[in-house]
Homo-oligomer: A and B are copies of this chain.
Amino acid sequence: MSSTSRIHLNVFVPTTGHHEASWLHPGTRPERLTDIAYYRETAAIAERGRFDSLFLADQLAIGRSVKHVAQGKLEPLTLLSALAGATERIGLIATASTTYSEPYNLARQFASLDHISGGRAGWNIVTSWSAEAAGNFGLAQRNSHADRYRRATEYVEVVRKLWDSWEDDARRHDRTSGIYADTDRIHAIDHQGEAFRVRGPLDLPRPPQGHPVLVQAGSSDEGRAFAARYAEAIFTAQQELADAQAFYADVKSRAAGFGRDPDGIKILPGLSPILGSTEAEARRNEEELNDLTIPAVGLKHLSQRFDGFDFTVFPLDEPIPVEAFPRPATVQGAQSRSQVILDIVARERPTLRGLLRRLAGGRGHKVLAGTPAAIADHIQLWVEQRAADGFNIMPATVPAGLADFVDEVVPILRRRGLFRTEYAGRTLREHYGLVRPASRYARSA
């Protein structure tokens, strides 16, 4: 096998599992969401599986359904800093918002995490669509979709300049000459933009990876354009092979349009596997989880996806008409995800209750109940058919569902020569096979 794995696997670390009712399942630990040992144990399972990375989402608010859904976990950047010392090789990706923070603060926290972890940091860039988050930051109304992406673009530019502001060899610590740092290699960035004015330099040296790995998850038109320009890994929700192939081709070609190597952007659709030793057992395991769901919770989640639209007016046990939904193009939240949901409705014509059960597992991400071999087949097919470079694994339950995937699916992928047996590299960039960027301020040799 080459120095990087043929496919890439990230684990999306949830509170108790990606299934909405996971905390009610005996395979989860709902009492441990603020217990650092719980996350250390989860990270250890993922590292035992030789995952490329683990990833933490972030909403900057408690959702409306905390009464019935496990919420209130540790903050991603502090949690990953703590996990850096408890792990050796796995990449550590934190979500952070460009809408509610200052680029100087975020640049240095990610740079610091990259130093602390020896080059294993990644930043999942989000623009924070929820109205709840807006209320925690003094905004009566959240910004529009387009405004958020315009700010995000400038924000990422500032952060990358700051990461470049110390050249790699700026530090000398030469006691003989009394020179601590070569100030010709430490640069003010003097950014003057629409949203930000930042003088720089950053207050700590360049991260080991040059730039922590940039990850993105928006799949709307603006989201794709942003990802094609900046992202090095993309998390995306895809239900159907053909749609995933189209998305894959579109993003890779957009990346090429920005002068980038299409292989420098890894596309990782979400996949929530539910395992069973037979197909029938897997289906039963899925039904067992779905039977634990509470329709009121699903209705709140669905409503949040469509800007607060009220679905309680529809009967639970009748097919819900496609026309009942607001148009995704008018949604100011996560546009692409609302389209995924609408496609499911158009394709499968479920009752409202059926739709809620359908979404309880992956919130629009692919849920696949099957044998370990069937899950491995799906992964292999999508990678071979150029629908994915790997997967964002979303265990329905944690730790049980993650451990099952590591113990039962990963060995099959290895036998097929698809996935690494040992880490070849030390940094997240090396795991994903990504180039380390040079500082834009470095003088050519």
Contact = CB atoms under 8 A, between A and B. Distances in A.
Contacts of A75: 108-109, 111-112, 204
A82 B117 CA distance: 9
Contacts of A71: 180-181, 203
A178 B30 CA distance: 12
- Residue from A61, A69, A136, A138 having most chain B Cβ neighbours under 10 A: A136
A116 interface: yes
Nearest to A66: B181
- Residue from A59, A74, A78 having most chain B Cβ neighbours under 10 A: A78
Interface residues on A, range: 35 or more
Contacts of A423: none
A67 interface: yes
A441 B200 CA distance: 42
A406 interface: no
A78 B183 contact: no
A287 to B, nearest CB: 18
A197 B82 contact: no
A254 interface: no
B180 A85 contact: no
A205 B136 CA distance: 16
A344 B140 CA distance: 52
B180 A69 contact: yes
A181 B15 CA distance: 14
16 contacts: A34-B204, A36-B85, A36-B115, A66-B181, A67-B180, A69-B180, A71-B180, A72-B205, A74-B115, A74-B116, A74-B204, A75-B112, A78-B116, A81-B82, A85-B86, A138-B196
